[in-house]
Structure 1
C-alpha cells in the first residue's frame, strides 16, 4: 500500500485539499491547493530527540509522503533550522516545533511531511 492511499482524503487533483497546520499550535503553514503530493522516502530527524544528540547524531525515521512546495514564499508560516547534508529542516514559525519537513538546498524546493502536520481549514 502506498502512502498516497493513507492520505487519499487530503489529496485532490494532486494538491492539498485543505489548509495545512501545525499539530502543536494550530498555526497555518500552507493554504489549500499550494502543495503538490510527492512520494519519496527520505530520512527526517524525529521531532523528539534525547538531550545528548547533536545535529550530526540525530535519530531519524523514513517518511514517504510530502507536500512539495516549489516556492518557499507559498508558505504562510514556516521556519528553517539546522542544515544537515544539503537540507535545511522546516519548523513551525510560531512554536518552533519540528522538523515538519525539509528544504533541499540544491533544488530550492520544500517538502512538508504529511505525517507531521494536520489538515484542517480552521
Structure 2
C-alpha cells in the first residue's frame, strides 16, 4: 500500500458544510433601498409574473446555504401565516412577519419540493382546528427557520421574501 497524503486544505474543505456561500455577498431584503423591486425580474411579461433574480440563501450568519436558484420562485402578495410564536421570531436573522390578518410577500415555489436546492421541513403543525396542517420550511443545512410554510401534502411552498438571503 502506498503512502498517500491529502492536498493542502482538502481535509478542511471536506469538514465544511456543503453549499456555504461567501457571507459578504449575502444580502437581506432590508439591505435593498428599493425593497422587493430590487430583487425581482419579469418571468412572463404577458402574464405580469415576477421572479427573483438572485439565488435565495439561508440568512443565518455563517451558513448561506443555497435554498433556491434564481428564477424558480414566483413573487406573490398573499395572506400572512403565523410562523412565529407570540414572542416573535426565534432567531435574530429572521425578521418578524406582519401579523395576521394581513398580507405578506412570498416566493411561491411549485409544483413540488424538488424545485429546491436545499430545504428542510418540520413535522406537521395544526394551527387551527378548521385548517389543514402546515409544515414549516427550514434551512436543511443549519435548521434555521421557519423561512416559510406549505400545507401537508400540498404542491405549493411559500418562502417569506424577508426571511431569505439574496446573492
Cα deviation digits, residues 48-102 of structure 1 (max 9, x gap): 08xxxxxxxxxx7536011100121010000001322321000000000100000
Q: Is the partner of 2:70 in helix, strand or coil?
A: coil
Q: In the TM superposition, what are the counterparts of 1:58-69 in structure 2 within 5 Å? A: 61-62=98-99, 64-69=104-109
Of structures 1 and 2, the larger Rg is shown by 2
Q: Which protein has the bigger strand share?
A: 1
1:56 aligns with none
The TM-score normalised by the length of structure 1 is 0.78
Greater RCO, 1 or 2 (C-alpha within 8 Å, sep 6+):
1
Distance apart, 1:115 and its partner CA: 0.7
Contact 2:118 2:140 survives alignment (8 Å): yes
Q: How does 1:17-36 map to 2 (within 5 A)?
A: 17-24=53-60, 25-36=63-74
Q: Report how many aligned residue pairs link the two structures.
A: 107
Following superposition, which runs of at least 4 residues in structure 1 exceed 4 angstroms of deviation?
A: none
Across the aligned residues of Structure 1 and Structure 2, the Cα RMSD in angstroms comes to 2.1
Secondary structure, counterpart of 2:90 in structure 1: coil
**Counterpart Cα distance in 1 of 2:105 and 2:76:** 6
Q: Structure 1: which 5+ runs fail to align?
A: 50-59
When structure 1 is superposed on structure 2, of 24-33 and 60-69 the one drifting more is 60-69
1:84 aligns with 2:120: no
> Structure 2 regions of 5+ residues with no counterpart?
1-33, 43-49, 92-96, 127-132
- Distance, in Å, in 2 between the alignment partners of 1:119 and 1:73 is 20
Distance 1:27 1:68 in 2: 19
Q: Which TM-score applies when normalising by structure 2?
A: 0.58
